[in-house]
Structure 1
Amino acid sequence: MTRAEQKERTRRAIINAAFEQLSADKSFASLSLREVAREAGIAPTSFYRHFADMDELGLTLVDEGGLMLRQLMRQARQRLINNTSVIRTSVETFMEFIIRHSNVFRLLLRERSGTSAAFRSAVAREIQHFCAELADYLRKENKCPPELALIQAEAMVILVFHAGADALDASDEVRQKITVKTILQLRWLAAGSQHASI
């Protein structure tokens, strides 16, 4: 293994260790560098070879979380087949993400309205990327103007993130009800957008 590969592996171990330690009871702000280093299997001083400080690590986690979610949703849209509902597939994929990567989604939710301006800005940027990709998809699929596609995409993303927050610590039964309700809300929103104009 080359030195660069080893460095990247250690960096990845630090990122994974930080994500692993996040939970319903533990936010990123309460993580210590020492805890993350121990979980990653490195000395605390080695941390600084990869990140300037915990804030830089936190911003990296936000970027990674947003990228993971966007890639997953992109894959969901690509695997659609004839007569499959894009809304149903997208919402179900999103809910699967919340179950499998609850720590990642929890980080995005918390830092979206957290005390750090840098973190809030990073989450806002990830959500903007998410909206832009969805708007591009809606523009191509529905042949609607870019402005309307972006407005619809932003409304859909806000709705889905809100549903995700409600579903995060819910039982399977409650999460299923939230999923069904969200699909209906998005369908109504999509139907209304057909008659909207600027």
Structure 2
Amino acid sequence: MHLSRQEQKLKTRRAIIDAAFSLLDEQRSLSSISLREVARAAGIAPTSFYRHFKDIDELGLTLVDEAGLNLRQLMRQARLRIASGGGVINTSVDTFMEFICAHSNVFRLLLREHTGTSLAFRAAVLREIQHFIVELTDYTMATTGLPYRYANLQAEAMVKLVFSAGAEALDSSTEQQVVLAQRVKLQLRFIANGAKEAAGL
């Protein structure tokens, strides 16, 4: 079966993105990966790279967008699991931990570029975190009756706490991750209860 030109282009673009993600690990950040390395890992000529991305920075921004999107989609799935009878905090934390174990390079990218040297990457990660906070604020208002101000403050505290726990989970053993998840669940309950109390609910 022959792929159309557009399909082939999308397939190659996907191969470049996947190759870049595979090169990221605990030692490597976006800024330390070369265009040549990405092209080699994707199985294309370096010149072909430019048909898909202006430069390595544009690829980096695409990776940040994709990492955030992957995580948001996963948390939406968690909300579906919650709707079918799972506890909000337990299900969300378990889903998040599963994501980190399965996609450590994707999460590592968000974490590292959040405080990295590139202003563009930092801004892109902040945008992704903000998307999370907005979605969680809306969800909280819809499910708890908290007014916007309190729901937003709660969402921001929760997202920052979970991201911080994710950083710890990356380099933890399975046993340590279980203990960490329990601790985070308890801390999230403190935040949720505090928000309700502050709002007089």
TM-score for the superposition, normalised by structure 1? 0.97
**Cross-structure match for 1:62:** 64
- Pair 1:99-2:101 in alignment: yes
Please say which of residues 83-92 and 122-131 is displaced more in the overlay.
Answer: 83-92
Task: Tell me the number of residue pairs that the alignment of Structure 1 and Structure 2 aligns.
Answer: 198
Q: CA deviation at 1:83?
A: 5.0
Q: CA deviation at 1:197?
A: 3.7
**Cross-structure match for 2:133:** 131
1:117 aligns with one of 116, 119, 140: 119
Cα distance in structure 1, aligned partners of 2:38 and 2:145 = 48
Cα distance in structure 2, aligned partners of 1:38 and 1:58 = 17
Partner AA of 1:120 in structure 2:
R
Partner SS, residue 51 of structure 1: coil
TM-score for the superposition, normalised by structure 2? 0.96
Provide Cα deviations, 1:132-165, integer angstroms capped at 9, x if missing partner: 0011000000011112111100000000000000
Cα distance in structure 2, aligned partners of 1:160 and 1:95 = 10
**Cross-structure match for 1:33:** 35
1:1-198 pair list within 5 angstroms:
1-81=3-83, 84-197=86-199
Q: Is the 8 A contact 2:21 2:63 kept in 1?
A: yes
Cα distance in structure 1, aligned partners of 2:147 and 2:191 = 16
- The structure 1 segments of at least 4 consecutive aligned residues displaced by more than 4 Å after TM superposition are none
Cα distance in structure 2, aligned partners of 1:97 and 1:68 = 9
- Sequence identity (%): 63
Q: Is the 8 A contact 2:81 2:91 kept in 1?
A: no
Provide Cα deviations, 1:95-115, integer angstroms capped at 9, x if missing partner: 011000000000000000011
RMSD across aligned C-alpha pairs, in angstroms? 1.2
Cα distance in structure 1, aligned partners of 2:65 and 2:198 = 33
